[in-house]
Amino acid sequence: MYYDEGDVVYGDILYMRHKGKKTERPTIIILEEKKETVIIAPFSHKFKAGTYHLPVISPKEIVGKKLKYKVLYILVEETQEIERKSLQKKTQRRLKTSKFRQVLIFVRDAERTGKLKRMKGNSVFS
């Protein structure tokens, strides 16, 4: 399954939870790697230092909620740079860390098992 920029996808909140009450996160990165589409969760947690980190897995007691994402970035290769002013250079470098690759594998498995899917119908972000 492949996605295009502007597509809206959703993930099971058990797999991709963010702090706070917002359920829509309009920043997502798609990586096409060896004919596979990997969806990377947004860099939406911002700290005092201005850095970002990957979202955490939610507690098991939260069931039945969905998070929505809009595709804003498409990376063709893992080494490709992101040319967006909204992402800092530190964040771009973090794409190449082993911890991030673990998340890529996790998210790829989530998509394969049906926990992460493209939404049908009109985009909620348009």
Largest CA distance in the chain: 38
pLDDT band of 110, cuts 50, 70, 90: low
24 DSSP β-pair partners: 68
The token pair that represents 114 in the structure block: 């049906």
How much is the pLDDT for 112?
63
Across 80-126, where does the E strand assignment appear? 116-118
Q: Would you kindly state where each structural domain of the chain is located, as residue ranges? A: 8-118
**Each residue's pLDDT tens digit, 44-80:** 344 444 433 434 333 333 345 555 656 655 544 444 4
Mean pLDDT of the chain: 49
How much is the pLDDT for 27?
43
